[in-house]
């Protein structure tokens, strides 16, 4: 990965930051994208102090125009993008029948349309070069029903199938598109779901009333666990892998 350029959205989040750091540690030049400018600058500075290269770019993935301008700016000022990681995501909890229009719309704007806008802008530039690799960070909830997570699960399912269809279409151009599907991961997004100190234990042990079986490996994932899966799928070690959905959930979805 030495010297290759990787664009990572959602870079200020728990998994996104871990992906930025992992890619930089493998020698990539990372374009860290998020709406949180202050946190992006902190991450880029920290990566630089550790000997890596990361640059902060502020953008809103829910805006097609913003994304197109971002990708053009990166290609002009940094260089041709070799890797794309769609990491931006939001979570809105609630029973399906009680979700508001705004909660549904925001969830799909970030988790689904953001993947579409960013992938389209980047892939249209990869195609003439006949190279590139994409990883969309989805969720094990895309294939496993979860109570009070209908919007999130549906948006991730849509992003999952979009990425697979994209991968099928661009394979002839030498471009790969894969997915990483985390389960419960120790990030601020997960802790936002917790009611009290017992919630972390419940994530691991399971919640029968919510039809959750728990995590067979007996621990929450670390953001770094997810990041290393992303790095593998982007790397040349995965050169013959495309349209694959790699689940990183400690067995929580029972391998389904």
Task: Please give the pLDDT value at position 194.
Answer: 62
Task: Please give the pLDDT value at position 190.
Answer: 74
Contact 88, 114 (CB under 8 A): yes
Strand-pair partners of 136: 86, 179
Task: Please give the pLDDT value at position 65.
Answer: 98
d(CA 162, CA 15): 21
Task: Please give the pLDDT value at position 68.
Answer: 98
Task: Please give the pLDDT value at position 46.
Answer: 98
d(CA 232, CA 221): 17
**Of 57, 83, 116, 152, which one is the catalytic site residue?**
152
Task: Please give the pLDDT value at position 196.
Answer: 67
d(CA 131, CA 111): 25
Q: What's the pTM?
A: 0.95
- In order of their start, the domains of the chain are 5-248 (3.40.50.720)
Contact 136, 86 (CB under 8 A): yes
CA torsion sign for 212, 215, 221, 227 is negative
Give the residue from 119, 126, 110, 195 showing the smallest Cα distance to 164: 119
Q: What is the mean pLDDT of each run of 10 residues along the chain (256 residues)?
A: 97 97 98 97 98 98 98 98 98 97 98 98 98 98 96 98 98 98 89 69 88 94 97 98 98 94
d(CA 125, CA 167): 15
Active site residue 152: yes
Task: Please give the pLDDT value at position 112.
Answer: 98
């Amino acid at each position: 990965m030495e010297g290759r350029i990787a664009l990572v959205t959602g870079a200020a989040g728990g998994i996104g930051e871990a992906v930025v750091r992992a890619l930089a540690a493998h020698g990539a030049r990372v374009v860290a994208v998020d709406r949180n400018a202050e946190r992006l600058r902190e991450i880029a500075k920290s990566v630089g102090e550790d000997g890596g290269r990361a640059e902060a770019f502020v953008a809103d993935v829910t805006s097609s125009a913003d994304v197109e301008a971002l990708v053009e700016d990166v290609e002009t000022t940094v260089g041709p993008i070799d890797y794309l990681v769609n990491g931006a995501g939001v979570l809105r909890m609630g029973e399906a029948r009680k979700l508001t229009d705004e909660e549904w719309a925001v969830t799909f704007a970030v988790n689904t349309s953001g993947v579409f806008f960013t992938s389209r802008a980047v892939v249209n530039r990869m195609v003439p070069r006949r190279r590139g690799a994409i990883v969309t960070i989805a969720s094990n909830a895309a294939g496993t029903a979860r109570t009070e997570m209908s919007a999130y699960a549906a948006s991730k399912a849509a992003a999952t199938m979009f990425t697979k269809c994209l991968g099928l279409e661009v394979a002839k151009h030498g471009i790969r598109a894969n997915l990483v599907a985390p389960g419960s991961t120790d990030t601020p997004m997960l802790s936002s779901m917790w009611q009290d100190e017992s919630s972390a234990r419940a994530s691991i042990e399971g919640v029968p009333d919510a039809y959750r079986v728990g995590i067979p490996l007996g621990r929450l994932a670390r953001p770094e666990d997810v990041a290393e899966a992303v790095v593998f799928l982007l790397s040349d070690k995965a050169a013959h892998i495309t349209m694959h959905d790699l689940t990183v959930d400690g067995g929580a979805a029972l391998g389904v």
